[in-house]
Structure 1
């Protein structure tokens, strides 16, 4: 961890829905600094939303209030501003989405699956930030909620979640924007609902899920899944991001800890505690 210095934004969570915090970590030969600071609250409380960082503009999308009010609205925090605040004057998604997943690919924001008052979703849509316009793309092969979505090598990958039968699934599929098709890749070794996922060193890491501390990764060339050492804690509804070659994981149901994975040592290490439990929140490197 020599010389690492970066910031991570943590947004919402089912027990602290409008709260936004910034995490700063620095570790070198002489000192270790961990700092938490508060950021402006979101304009509305959102259970299980999704977020992306587009050129230091944080787009926070969807989510729900309670168990029956679902959102398609979007708000943005522009970190390029000296005094940023959340702006709700953005186009809404075409569909209300809760417990869905999002990712950036080639300057476009992709949103996939989730849940609303019609049930679990397979539908997907994209947002063009330059044109401020949403449009639909082809549905995933199956309906998914509480799943993960990542982008790598010009493709989009959807992993796990709950399917339309209400079961956790180990299926994985990718979307190729060149032909507009979703195709399956080999399934994960473990069914994972409420997982989080990241891409590091040409590999997709599928992390945790309900009652799971286990981790596995898929090589993007061979499409083979192999086990990774388990985290120190089960993480259902945890969130993760990559900073300077390390995977950072925050929270989950019943978990206040923050831990990181070092691929050089192939080990997880607990870094610190959050001030409160957060689950089904959003975590972004900034």
Structure 2
């Protein structure tokens, strides 16, 4: 999934996934792989000392939720509607690893999917997304709203709407290159250096104060008219500059989930659609910015894209997602499966 909001020195750096990660009404890839490794144990290729564990499934299966860790718990926001004119659920779930338990929280003020999320001082900030403005209408209308969610009070507050660009994936468009920063102290937005590679649905992570953009989709909001990329780029918020091109991701894909542990960025799942292949990925890899190198870590237990998750302690939680595609045969299927890789 990837949302692109990162907190540093009192400000949010908002890598505008509104290019389409916020609004990708994309065509879908076919089924990719089987259930694979068992829910608990060592998956093929996983280094010794690391294992996958099966945890409590999310109560309402969906895809394109946005996840963020706050106060040692995982929070999920939104999710896709059913079809292009369905109503987005707007639901919020809290996962407590202490009891391996999910709790449904207060719904979003405006039901949206593909939102960008970030945590700061125990509060969660939710930006943009795709919404349905009227019953029966399109469910991928761009939104520029900004909210603050307080997990302790289970309450919402409105913040200043974003003034930047947006796109409608159902109209002729191009993927945006927008990079913005939001300062919650002053409730203001500012434009920053644009992305060298305009893209959406990329993996993102922060290591030592720098933001890394990994893979994703270029050209279009739609997977069927866009292309996956393996490009890795580094952004330094302190200087507002982009670094040299980094070592490319071994498995080009989009619509996966990333987490950071011990200064390494772990990337899981995703999809890749080409003229020859429509696939949902089981790939699991790690990028080390210090050595500018990649390590393959075997396969996830279940191939999926549009998944979400986050790192709590030494566990990288991977939740939900999509396991089939409409033109891949049969009806699209979302999974409630919740796996975690124990990292060392």
Q: Assess same fold via TM > 0.5.
A: yes
User: Structure 1 47/213 Cα, relative in aligned 2: closer, same or farther at 3 Å?
Assistant: same
**What is the rounded CA distance, in whole Å, between the counterparts of 2:142 and 2:249 in structure 1?**
29
Task: Could you tell me which runs of 5 or more consecutive residues in structure 1 were left unpaired when the two chains were aligned.
Answer: 1-13, 26-30, 146-160
Assess if the C-alpha contact under 8 Å between 2:71 and 2:122 holds in 1: no
1:151-177 Cα offsets, whole Å, 9 max, x none, are xxxxxxxxxx97996421111001001
Residues 69-218 of structure 1: pairs in structure 2 closer than 5 A = 69-81=87-99, 84-88=100-104, 90-118=105-133, 119-142=141-164, 166-210=173-217, 211-218=228-235
User: Is the CA contact 1:52–1:104 (under 8 Å) kept in the aligned structure 2?
Assistant: yes
Distance 1:285 1:162, change over 3 A: farther
Q: Choose which of 252, 262, 276 in structure 1 pairs with 2:270.
A: 252
| Cα RMSD, aligned residues only | 2.9
- For 2:143, what is the secondary structure of its paired residue? strand
Give the corresponding residue for 2:293: 267
Which has a greater percent of strand?
1
Contact 1:203 1:218 (C-alpha < 8 Å) held by counterparts = yes
* Contact map agreement 1:200 1:242 (CA 8 A) in 2: yes
Deviations 1:88-115 (A, max 9, x none): 1x21111111111211012110111110
| TM-score (norm: length of structure 1) | 0.79
Per-residue CA distance 1:169-191 (angstroms, 9 max, x = gap): 11100100111011111001001
Shift in alpha-carbon separation, 1:33–1:281, aligned structure 2, 3 A = same
**How far has the Cα of 1:85 moved from its partner?**
2.0
Count of residues in correspondence between the two structures? 249
From the superposition, tell whether residues 212 and 193 of structure 1 become closer, same or farther in structure 2 (CA, over 3 Å).
Answer: same
